[in-house]
Amino acid sequence: MPVVIRQRHPHFFGEVEGVDLRRALTRDEVDAIEAGMDRHAVLAFRGQDLDDAQQLAFTLNFGALEPTEGGHIAKPGERRIGIEFADVSNLGRDGRPLARDDRHRMFNLGNRLWHSDSSFRAVPAKYSLLSGRVIPPEGEGGDTQFADMRAAYDALDSRTKARIEDLVCEHSLMTSRGLLGFGEFNEEERRMFRPVRQRLVRTHPVSGRKSLYLSAHAGAIVGWPVPEARAFLRDLTEHATQREFVHSHRWRQHDLVMWDNRQTMHRVRAFDDVNLVRDVRRTTVAGDAPTAEQAA
């Protein structure tokens, strides 16, 4: 059966049919999915009851894994799942929801802000693949929203496009968490989360389309006063997350959603994470190169 992709939003977001991610894919299937990512930026695969090994095998069709170190405050011995996965669930090692005042829970609340995965790394991520193992009941929240940063760029006026073409921003996990009042970082974490530089405008290597590269992790523009930069980035984010550019994915059990971090932002919507279980596991395909020269 051929891979079929049905677009679910006027600008982006495709839903994929005709592929079982639990088995090894053919080269034609991988090529069809990659072409779908270039076109739609986000793909949803319904009814994929994957285990960790199957999710990992599917991910490796698209490139090398990004390391998980440096993207969280959890120490190796505190991990609930394998080192290959980013644990973006609300669960502790005992499988129960984290307490309201748990430090890991408060850090993870940053995922409710608009962001691009790993923009805080010098070489930012290419694809993210999120598998929904246990999903809150329908109507209880926990949806994931995506914003098409290509369409947002296209909608800018020519003067703004010219102004932002060569701008470089500084991204850090301390910036996004600081927006929520989380600033309790030790010296090791401050070194790990030191700012990196990213271009504000990116060009897709296949389609040639330009997109805004925004994230809650971005807190400065090189050469600008910080207050001016943050006000400007806030205005751009408000523009890029207007309803016309956003699709909200309502999760079902065993969905897998795959997105291109070079072309989108996303955020998880609130749910009762102290009482309900949301077990979602992310694998991440590493990017190819920095977007900007790093500070010495």
Per-residue pLDDT reduced to its tens digit, 3-31: 999 999 999 999 999 999 999 999 999 99
Per-domain boundaries in the chain: 4-284
Band of pLDDT at residue 75, cut at 50, 70 and 90: confident
Farthest CA pair distance, the chain: 56
- What's this model's pTM, rounded to 2 decimal places? 0.97
pLDDT computed for residue 42 by the predictor: 98
pLDDT at 296 over 90: no
pLDDT at 78 over 90: no
% of the chain at pLDDT higher than 70: 100
pLDDT at 237 over 90: yes
> Using the 8-state DSSP alphabet, how is residue 255 labeled?
-
Instruction: Average the pLDDT over 135-162 and give the result.
Output: 97
Residue 283, helix vs strand vs coil: strand
Per-residue pLDDT reduced to its tens digit, 176-227: 999 999 998 999 999 999 999 999 999 999 999 999 999 999 999 999 999 9
CB 283 within 8 A of CB 124: no
Residues 6+ apart with CB under 8 A from 295: 195, 197
pLDDT computed for residue 118 by the predictor: 97
The CA-based angle 100-104-107, given to 5 degrees, is 95
Mean pLDDT of the chain: 97
Within 10 A of 144 (CB to CB), how many other CB atoms are there?
A: 22
CB 198 within 8 A of CB 230: no
pLDDT computed for residue 240 by the predictor: 98
Give dist(CA 263, CA 259) in Å, integer.
8
> Using the 8-state DSSP alphabet, how is residue 3 labeled?
-
pLDDT at 1 over 80: no
The CA-based angle 240-38-268, given to 5 degrees, is 45
Tell me the chain's radius of gyration from C-alpha atoms: 18
Instruction: Average the pLDDT over 125-133 and give the result.
Output: 98
pLDDT computed for residue 51 by the predictor: 98
The CA-based angle 138-140-146, given to 5 degrees, is 85
pLDDT computed for residue 43 by the predictor: 98
pLDDT computed for residue 234 by the predictor: 98
Per-residue pLDDT reduced to its tens digit, 245-263: 999 999 999 999 999 999 9
pLDDT at 291 over 90: yes
Q: Domain 4-284 has what CATH class?
A: alpha beta
Write the DSSP assignment of 81-144 as a string of letters: S-TTSEE-SSB-TTSSBPPTT-HHHHHHGGGGS-B-TTTTSSS--SEEEEEEEE-PPTTSB--E
Q: Which of 77-81, 94-98, 229-233 has the lowest mean pLDDT?
A: 77-81
